[in-house]
Copies of this chain bind each other. A is one copy, B any other.
Amino acid sequence: MTTDTLGNSNAGAAMGRSIPRVEARAKVTGRAEYVHNLRLPGMLYGRIHRSTVAHARITGVDVSAAQAMPGVYAVYTAADIRKLIPEPYFGPAFHDQPILAIDKVHYVGEPVALVLAADPHVADAAAQQIVVEYEELPAVFDEVEAMTSKAVVHEVLKPAGTFPDLKHLKDKRDTNVALDFHLRRGDVQQAFADADHVFEHTFRTQQVLHLPLEPFVTVADPAPNQLVIHTASQSPSFVRIEIARLLGWPETRVRVKVPYLGGGFGAKLYIKLEALTAAAALIAGRPVKIALTMEEQFYTLTKHATTLRIKSGVTRDGKITARECEVWWNGGAYADIGPRITQKSGFTAAGPYDIDHVTIDSYSLYTNLTPAGALRGFGIPQLVWAYESHTDMIAKALKMDPLAIRRINILREGRPQATGTLMRDAGIEPVLERLAERMTWEKKYDRGSGTMRRGRGIAIGFKASISPTTSMAIVNISADGSCIVYCSTVDMGQGSDTAMAQFAAEALGIPVERVSVVHPDTDVTPYDMATLGSRSTYHMGHAVKNAAEDARDKLLALAAEVGLSAETTPIPDIFRKKYGMQAGNIIGIGSFIPPYTPPEPGTGLTTDATPFWMIGATGAEVEVDTETGEFKVTRLVNLVDVGRPVNPAIVETQISGATIMQLGFTLSERMEFDAGQVTNASLADYKIPGIRDVPPVMENEAVDMVQKTGPFGAKGVGESGTFGVSPAIASAIDDAVGVRLTSLPLTAEAVYRGLRANAGKPLQD
């Protein structure tokens, strides 16, 4: 059905068109719905009293002053929650996180009590009147120390059993290691012995935040037959299942509705405020809203700080023969999705290189810091930071060109990746070559002179997608030929509503303007694992395409049944012939479960690690002041393989958005801690990129590729822009002034220290 069955000339070519986002008008007119705007009759506001210590036994909670304040409706502690939910622990990998702290606190900022009041200011004031007595316990903050520390964060851990690929999680006792992933390929030690050179470096990344401009917010409404949860969540299906599990209810008695999100970036996955808000609403018998402040985001979820050690065996002409990687993930006080990040990113920790002998050891660790979760890239930016810095350090040692060493080692189409999975539709080489071209890498480069030096760097990374997961969609065609797409993908700014409309229009051969997409609502839209890991375009795209094709097949069958040609008859005429009037619907159903083979226990090998590969590369140019160490990024070239772009304009904003976000993590963002207490928990003290921090030249390009297994050749793009930014800039600095930084963020002070050290005049701390 490639011809237009509605007599409309702009049908068909929905794929690849930069149509405006479907929500553009709602957003610019201020009419787009967000949970923060929602008020329900009789609604109470909840404010959280949080732990002031990092690790302690709770010896007393005095809520009397708070309860006595005029206007306070109720104050709840864990004891109240447990009357409703005897085992109030949640989490996607382990049921480790209590709704409110039980007996112990595990990090500074952990929720200990909740105040409800009709006036949020009253609730706020009352929350400050709560007095908690603590008996402090030894705490651990560093991820490497946590491996062996006597300070154990959790004594016992119950696996959630959610992820079939993490079945080897067992009840854990007296360890801070939540999950350890090991990959063994070839014989690394022999290869090191045989190598001309062996290089080993250690890199670190810092704690950073997702910081969506819309902080966490949930409203729970205890309706008579159903608990309705309005929440800024990336995973409505998971929230429904998890809340139903906590309450012991059927899934369908919990309804989760998600309007637009003001950003997510992985923060709004799994359970955040939902369990606390739901429990409070059910106990109070009133709708409850909990909306965090910007500051409270610092106490809710971070990105994993990491320590990464890489050791490579290399021939004298630059061929990498063996690699050993160790990665320690600082998961904070609760595992959240950390174990899955540890495993999934473990697949690619050795980088996009063709290496015969590889070992990878990846550890998910508990510490007494804010819990860490998935943040745009699912651990990959940390890995790329390490392995691409390492690549350039080897090149420099061997006096090789950074492009040349990559050309020797790059993982080419059809070759096995470290897990053993073959590379298919993975544009690693094309993206690298296109980056060289755009950077005019092989032409002479002016490195400046005097106190102003220039340098350039390149970096490339790759990522496996999420699997196993399930996505489902429904496409409903009305009698006039317009249609609605039902899916639980959350449009959090990435433009998924628009993309899904384009997929459905393409499959049905109708104008995209006649396609509507409804918001996730577990009573309305079918199951989807979550909106994360750049999976929606590919996974949900397939489900929507399958649903639309199912609807198209039913439409063809209907046309045949009533003796009409679906190729030449407008859709409304087919319906009218069947139903005698403008009536009826055609309902198509689609689902998608990518093929997946879990890694073999012990070796970590699998022939089917991922349904598709994401590739991202960055070229950076910098100017460094040799007197002060101050530097600026003057040019960023960001290239990605997105297969065939669904909507080029949106793809471009995804690349630039990811790049700028990673720029913040590279140059300025860092949570500062003092005994586990965040000391810069505000946007005044924690610097995210503003418009003036964007490099004066920024070029974003989706390299001409097709993901043959993707829906209409497409694949995800939300994260690929983050991969290469940090190492490209670090290498550019090294290229300019010979200072190699191995810890993020890259600061003028660190460059200055490097310049002083190079000059034989190191600064004293």
B interface footprint on A242-265 (CB within 8 Å = 1, 0 otherwise)? 001100001111000000000000
Contact B480–A251 (Cβ < 8 Å)? yes
Contact A241–B162 (Cβ < 8 Å)? no
CB-CB under 8 A from A593, the residues of chain B are 579
CB-CB under 8 A from A226, the residues of chain B are 516
B interface footprint on A44-65 (CB within 8 Å = 1, 0 otherwise)? 0000000000000000000000
Q: What is the CA–CA distance of A689 and B31 in the complex, to the nearest angstrom?
A: 47
Q: What is the CA–CA distance of A22 and B225 in the complex, to the nearest angstrom?
A: 8
CB-CB under 8 A from A31, the residues of chain B are 223-224
- A161 to chain B minimum Cβ distance, whole angstroms, is 8
A358 an interface residue at 8 Å Cβ cutoff?
no
CB-CB under 8 A from A582, the residues of chain B are 162, 241, 245
CB-CB under 8 A from A251, the residues of chain B are 478-480, 482
Contact B225–A479 (Cβ < 8 Å)? no
Q: What is the CA–CA distance of A250 and B223 in the complex, to the nearest angstrom?
A: 33
Contact A585–B526 (Cβ < 8 Å)? yes
Copies in the complex: 2
Q: What is the CA–CA distance of A135 and B41 in the complex, to the nearest angstrom?
A: 49
Q: Decide yes or no: A529 and B250 within 8 Å by CB, A26-B225, A225-B26 being known contacts.
A: no
CB-CB under 8 A from A3, the residues of chain B are none
B interface footprint on A512-527 (CB within 8 Å = 1, 0 otherwise)? 0111101001011011
Contact A479–B241 (Cβ < 8 Å)? yes
Q: What is the CA–CA distance of A469 and B583 in the complex, to the nearest angstrom?
A: 9
Q: What is the CA–CA distance of A469 and B581 in the complex, to the nearest angstrom?
A: 9
CB-CB under 8 A from A468, the residues of chain B are 579-580
Q: What is the CA–CA distance of A472 and B225 in the complex, to the nearest angstrom?
A: 24
Q: Closest residue to A474 on the B side, CB-wise? A: B587
A25 an interface residue at 8 Å Cβ cutoff?
yes
Contact A527–B241 (Cβ < 8 Å)? no
Contact B587–A589 (Cβ < 8 Å)? yes
| Cβ 8 A contact of A225, one of B25, B523, B589 | B25
- A316 to chain B minimum Cβ distance, whole angstroms, is 47
Contact B527–A479 (Cβ < 8 Å)? yes
Contact B164–A580 (Cβ < 8 Å)? yes
A726 an interface residue at 8 Å Cβ cutoff?
no
A608 an interface residue at 8 Å Cβ cutoff?
no
CB-CB under 8 A from A250, the residues of chain B are 478, 480-482, 513-514
- A547 to chain B minimum Cβ distance, whole angstroms, is 10
Q: List 21 A-B contacts (CB under 8 A).
A: A23-B225, A25-B224, A29-B224, A31-B224, A162-B582, A226-B516, A241-B480, A244-B480, A250-B478, A251-B479, A252-B483, A252-B516, A470-B579, A470-B583, A472-B584, A472-B585, A476-B526, A518-B523, A527-B584, A527-B585, A579-B593
Contacts beyond the supplied A162-B581, A251-B478, A468-B579: 16 A-B pairs with Cβ under 8 Å: A22-B225, A25-B224, A26-B223, A32-B224, A163-B581, A241-B582, A251-B479, A251-B480, A252-B484, A252-B516, A472-B584, A472-B587, A518-B524, A526-B585, A526-B587, A529-B583
List the 3 closest A-B pairs by CB distance, nearest first. A164-B580, A250-B482, A26-B224
